[in-house]
């Protein structure tokens, strides 16, 4: 009901009131798109009660016509996404390196809109597909929009934009039968990858747990390419961009990811939405790796090669600001779906490098928006509008909103007073970096891009034992789904060049033997040159392990927004339950009560508790930890519920923290949990000590060492 309702029959100030109501979206009366009020929204206009519908029924026609056109093409990649509004704050001025205003003044709070996404799946696919995640940030700066369109993985599959359509065609559902949805575990993907050695570093990342994040709020973001910062004097520094989540980097288990895809395909979308609604605003620190021009060639790999990262041990990430997401969109379509990012939306002081993948992206994004959003005027859609005014001589086109006034739409002019003027003054407008270019036109790959395995090995070596095991298992899973034995063998052979143990263990599962390493393929290296290609110069900084690449070293100091399942029935121990709830909620965790039925519970002492979910809909995979309070009657009732035992088994299998009251030991005994094994994630009743131990265990996230002990048939 509108706040300012215009009562029927009251004509005074009607136009103004109608206008105000419509702008607020609060008109209580249904209207056509022309503003005509509609009396009957149930029946079409007919020739008699049982007669045919009349063509004249413009109200019906308008309603159905609009409906017929309410879908637009989904993004060719990154179709499945979720977004939120927020702001960016700068900790320290970067004026020494860049003239970008939002990175110069620590008093400026820059509004942002951030969209997270998976890459391969359709709009309706599951959030938990094994995939890279998009991490696209639109900064609405005082110098125009700046888009940092990155991923949660710091490198990419390919080195040259020329291969992008091939990569995407290979990973998308196969064209003959449109299967499988949102999955890389199929022949065309691995056929392509097995012929593209340059993808091997990225493959290590997408086969790692980074590709199945616990939450968008718990993943890193990377600009991927090397960009440039340009300062007032026109001096350039190479720069890599990083987002570091304050909740740490955490993932789910692969078995869990597959279950979540069925139990709650909107898991990440819901998680982001709920965190923001509850006031637990997601935060990331913004970091830069800065490299002086003179150091361009000191790394043993090429800074322009997007399949390489700069290890943080060699160039530390300098933290310079913070991103906070504090507002959910009002309308998914108008904002999340219609937002148009573009790596070429720059502000003065930031420029591109010659990374051939980045250069190819610069053409693609506007091009795709033209067909996706349907007009060259997509910058006028509210979510895409800069906060500064637009002045230029571009005119007209489909869906133009601006009413440009005046006689002139050309430059130079005198009739329009010469407006709009060029910014001219260097600091005001955008100037490309004065890079010296003196070269031949050439269609080939630089030899400095030819080491396809060094950083794949670095990544694999830098993982903890559990993380390595997960990569091996992911490869086993994906390649077992591949039908062609030749593709499987080619992949195993490629893996030998990353790590022998990795290749052998994957091969074993597939009934293969790791063959001879293949030479780098798919590049036109002249026959008279060393096919191994680029060898780093002497004295380059090389490392064989990087702690920053392992999630094991992420921060584990918070249980903020972690979801804890309390499994209870009538007769539960209220005192223990309340104390545990208070302790967890004080640390920002979210407690949900799960019971056999969706009705009020009564404790052993007659205290009532509401139930959030019954076992019918609850799934352990949507929780971070489990607590089973005591109360003999409650535990006896849970023992009658196969779903309760399954819940505990599954949480254990996925290596989650489980705390339980003294009576609840019976439920643990009824499960597959082996209490004899030392396990800091299994926390029996021990007075207040239990609460602290449980909080610490939840912050640890997972107890992967359990995976070595036994397989739980949950």
- Residue 78 interacts with ligand HDE (CB under 6 A)? yes
Least distance CB 127 / ligand HDE (angstroms):
14
Residue number, 113 or 267, with CB nearest to ligand HDE: 113
Residue number, 158 or 621, with CB nearest to ligand HDE: 158
Contacting residues for 297 by C-beta, under 8 A, at least 6 apart: 537
Binding test (CB under 6 A) with ligand HDE, winner from 59, 77, 120, 635:
77
Binding test (CB under 6 A) with ligand HDE, winner from 365, 433, 477, 672:
365
User: What is the token pair recorded at 153?
Assistant: 């993985």
441 secondary structure, DSSP code:
-
Least distance CB 246 / ligand HDE (angstroms):
21
Residue number, 135 or 190, with CB nearest to ligand HDE: 135
CA neighbours closer than 13 Å in the CB half-sphere of residue 606: 0
Least distance CB 75 / ligand HDE (angstroms):
4
Binding mask 325-364 for ligand HDE (x = CB under 6 A): --------------xxx---------------x--xx--x
Size of the site for ligand HDE (CB under 6 A): 26
Least distance CB 13 / ligand HDE (angstroms):
43
SS3 382: helix
Cβ-based burial of 368 (10 A; exposed 0-12, middle 13-18, buried ≥19): middle
Binding test (CB under 6 A) with ligand HDE, winner from 30, 54, 72, 76:
76
Binding mask 219-238 for ligand HDE (x = CB under 6 A): -----x--------------
Tell me if 120 sits within 8 A of 133, measured CB to CB: no
Residue whose Cβ sits closest to ligand HDE: 134
151 is catalytic: yes
Residue of 33, 39, 66, 78 marked catalytic: 78
User: What is the token pair recorded at 221?
Assistant: 């973001």
- Residue 75 interacts with ligand HDE (CB under 6 A)? yes
What is the spatial distance between Cα 608 and Cα 600, in angstroms, rounded to a whole number? 7
Sign of CA dihedral 495, 500, 505, 510: positive
- 619 closest CA partner among 274, 267, 269: 267
Least distance CB 160 / ligand HDE (angstroms):
8
Residue number, 306 or 596, with CB nearest to ligand HDE: 306
- Residue 150 interacts with ligand HDE (CB under 6 A)? yes
Least distance CB 437 / ligand HDE (angstroms):
21
> What are the Cα distances from residue 111, in Å, to 85, 341, 467, 689?
8, 15, 37, 44
Binding test (CB under 6 A) with ligand HDE, winner from 6, 98, 99, 117:
117
Contacting residues for 343 by C-beta, under 8 A, at least 6 apart: 147, 148, 149, 225, 352, 358, 361, 362, 365
SS3 187: helix
What is the spatial distance between Cα 175 and Cα 292, in angstroms, rounded to a whole number? 46
Q: Is 225 left (phi over 0), alpha (psi -120 to 50) or beta?
A: beta
Angle between helices 485-496 and 465-481 (to 10 degrees): 160
Tell me if 226 sits within 8 A of 350, measured CB to CB: no
Least distance CB 81 / ligand HDE (angstroms):
5
User: What is the token pair recorded at 42?
Assistant: 């149930």
Other C-beta atoms lying within 10 Å of the C-beta of residue 627: 26
Residue number, 77 or 129, with CB nearest to ligand HDE: 77
Binding test (CB under 6 A) with ligand HDE, winner from 161, 304, 325, 569:
161
Binding test (CB under 6 A) with ligand HDE, winner from 86, 101, 121, 134:
134
Tell me if 714 sits within 8 A of 697, measured CB to CB: no
- Residue 375 interacts with ligand HDE (CB under 6 A)? no
Residue of 85, 145, 151, 701 marked catalytic: 151
Least distance CB 369 / ligand HDE (angstroms):
6
Q: Which residues are catalytic?
A: 78, 151
Q: Interface residues with ligand HDE (CB under 6 A)?
A: 75-78, 81, 115, 117, 134, 136, 149-151, 156, 161, 164, 224, 339-341, 357, 360-361, 364-365, 368-369
């Amino acid at each position: 009901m509108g706040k300012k309702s215009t009562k029927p029959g009251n004509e005074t100030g009607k136009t103004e009131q109608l206008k105000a109501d419509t702008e607020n979206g609060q008109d209580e009366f249904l209207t056509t798109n022309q503003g005509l009020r509609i009396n009957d929204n149930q029946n079409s206009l007919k020739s008699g009660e049982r007669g045919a519908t009349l063509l004249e029924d413009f109200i019906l026609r308008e309603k159905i016509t609009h409906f017929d056109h309410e879908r637009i093409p989904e993004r060719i990649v990154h179709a499945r996404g979720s977004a939120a509004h927020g702001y960016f704050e700068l900790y320290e001025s970067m004026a020494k390196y860049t003239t970008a205003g939002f990175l110069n003044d620590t008093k400026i709070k820059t509004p942002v809109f951030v969209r997270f996404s998976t890459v391969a799946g359709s709009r309706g696919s599951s959030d938990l597909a094994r995939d890279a995640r998009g991490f696209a940030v639109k900064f609405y700066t005082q110098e125009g929009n700046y888009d940092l369109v990155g991923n949660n993985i710091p490198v990419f599959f390919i080195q040259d934009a020329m291969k992008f359509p091939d990569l995407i065609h290979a990973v998308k559902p196969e064209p003959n039968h449109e299967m499988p949805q949102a999955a890389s575990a199929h022949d065309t993907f691995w056929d392509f990858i097995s012929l593209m050695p340059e993808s091997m570093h990225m493959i290590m990342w997408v086969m790692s747990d980074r590709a199945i994040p616990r939450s968008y709020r718990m993943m890193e973001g990377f600009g991927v390419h090397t960009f440039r910062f340009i300062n007032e004097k026109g001096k350039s520094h190479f720069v890599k961009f990083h987002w570091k989540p304050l909740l740490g980097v955490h993932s789910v288990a692969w078995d869990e990811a597959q279950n979540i895809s069925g139990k709650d395909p909107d898991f990440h979308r819901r998680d982001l939405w709920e965190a923001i609604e509850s006031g637990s605003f997601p935060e990331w620190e913004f970091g830069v790796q800065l490299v002086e021009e003179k150091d361009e060639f000191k790394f043993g790999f090429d800074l322009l090669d997007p399949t390489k990262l700069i290890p943080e041990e060699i160039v530390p990430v300098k933290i310079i600001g913070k991103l906070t997401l504090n507002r959910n969109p009002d309308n998914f379509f108008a904002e999340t779906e219609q937002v148009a990012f573009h790596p070429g939306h720059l502000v003065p002081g930031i420029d591109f490098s010659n990374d051939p993948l980045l250069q190819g992206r610069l053409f693609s994004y506007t091009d795709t928006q033209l067909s996706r959003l349907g007009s060259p005027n997509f910058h006028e859609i509210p979510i895409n509008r800069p906060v500064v005014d637009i002045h230029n001589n571009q005119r007209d086109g489909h869906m133009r909103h601006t009413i440009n006034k005046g006689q002139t739409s050309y430059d130079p002019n005198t009739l329009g007073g010469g407006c709009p003027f060029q910014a001219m003054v260097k600091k005001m407008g955008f100037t490309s970096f004065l890079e010296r270019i003196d070269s031949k036109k050439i269609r080939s790959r630089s030899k400095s891009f030819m080491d396809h395995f060094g950083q794949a090995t670095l990544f694999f070596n830098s993982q903890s034992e559990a993380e390595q095991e997960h990569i091996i298992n992911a490869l086993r899973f994906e390649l077992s789904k591949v039908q062609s034995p030749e593709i499987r063998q080619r992949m195993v052979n490629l893996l030998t060049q990353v790590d022998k143990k990795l290749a052998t263990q994957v091969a074993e599962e597939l009934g293969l033997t790791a063959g001879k390493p293949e030479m780098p393929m798919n590049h036109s290296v002249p026959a008279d040159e060393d096919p191994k290609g680029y060898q780093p110069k002497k004295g380059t900084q090389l490392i064989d392990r990087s702690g920053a690449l392992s999630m094991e070293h992420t921060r584990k100091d918070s249980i903020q927004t972690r979801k804890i399942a309390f499994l209870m029935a009538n007769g539960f121990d209220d005192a223990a339950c309340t104390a545990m709830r208070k302790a967890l909620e004080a640390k920002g965790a979210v407690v949900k009560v799960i019971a056999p039925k969706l009705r009020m519970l009564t404790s052993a002492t007659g205290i009532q508790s509401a139930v959030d979910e019954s076992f019918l809909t609850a799934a352990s995979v949507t929780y971070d930890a489990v607590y089973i309070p005591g109360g003999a009657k409650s535990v006896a009732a849970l023992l009658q519920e196969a779903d309760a035992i399954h819940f505990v088994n599954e949480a254990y299998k996925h290596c989650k923290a489980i705390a339980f009251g003294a009576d609840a030991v019976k439920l643990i005994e009824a499960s597959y949990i082996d209490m004899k094994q030392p396990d800091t994630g299994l926390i029996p009743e021990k007075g207040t000590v239990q609460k602290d131990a449980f909080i610490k265990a939840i912050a640890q996230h997972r107890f992967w060492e359990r995976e070595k002990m036994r397989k739980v048939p949950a």
